[in-house]
Amino acid sequence: MLEFVLERGNYWAIIGLMMIGLYTLFAATNLIKKLVGLSIFQTSIILFYISLSRIDGGTAPILYGKDAKGHSGGHDEAAGAHGAASEAAHAASDAAHGAADAAHGAASHGLEHVYSNPLPHVLMLTAIVVGVATLAVGLAIVVRIREAYGTIESDEIRETDLEVARAEYAVDQADEANPA
């Protein structure tokens, strides 16, 4: 039982972070804190993908030693890395099941060394950019809210808006009562 828990330590960490992020997002009234919660939530997803890409004994996914020469080396490395990317992707899919023999996966593709799967890293690079853009837009809107309302507490903003709505409704009712 203990082993079951411990060998999945990364997933517990990810779930914990995810819950902390979501809780902050829902519970905080301060809009900046909400955005912080959102960032924590997104970071936990990045961790999730990165831990998917890990292979036991795998190194950074850059071909070296005999593997690089096998792909004719030199200027060819970029193209070679692409090949490794797709091969490692399949190797990692086995590994993701937990018990797969990663060395076997790599050997069957004719590579001497074991590489971790680069694809999730690339995906997360994109996700980070998306996260940065979202955060920037979010903060920009918060700045504008501060200028328009004088506060960044979401409950105070709701209160102000409610008052405005009530005032509008009162005017409407008055108009209905005696149409000019």
Q: Which residues bind other proteins (CB under 8 A)?
A: 22, 25, 31, 34-35, 38, 41-42, 45, 48-49, 52, 60, 62, 75-79, 82, 85-86, 89-90, 92-94, 96-97, 119-120, 123, 125-127, 129-130, 133-134, 136-145, 148-149, 154, 157-158, 161, 164, 168-169, 172, 175-176, 179
Nearer Cβ to other proteins (77/112)? 77
Q: Which helix (H) or strand (E) holds 141?
A: helix 118-149
Nearer Cβ to other proteins (104/144)? 144
Nearer Cβ to other proteins (3/176)? 176
Buried (b) or exposed (e) across 50-84, using 16+ Cβ within 10 A?
Answer: bbbbbbeebeebebeeebbeebeeeeebeebbeeb
Closest distance of CB 157 from other proteins, Å: 5
Nearer Cβ to other proteins (90/104)? 90
Task: Give yes or no for a contact between 70 and 110, defined as CB atoms under 8 angstroms apart.
Answer: yes
One-letter amino acid for residue 14 of the chain: I
Closest distance of CB 99 from other proteins, Å: 13
Closest distance of CB 86 from other proteins, Å: 4
Closest distance of CB 35 from other proteins, Å: 8
Integer angstrom CA distances of residue 167 from 57, 68, 69, 93, 179? 67, 73, 76, 60, 18
Integer angstrom CA distances of residue 2 from 7, 9, 55, 57? 9, 11, 22, 24
Site of tokens 């918060």: 142
Nearer Cβ to other proteins (48/115)? 48
Closest CA to 93 of 77, 117, 73: 117
Closest distance of CB 27 from other proteins, Å: 13
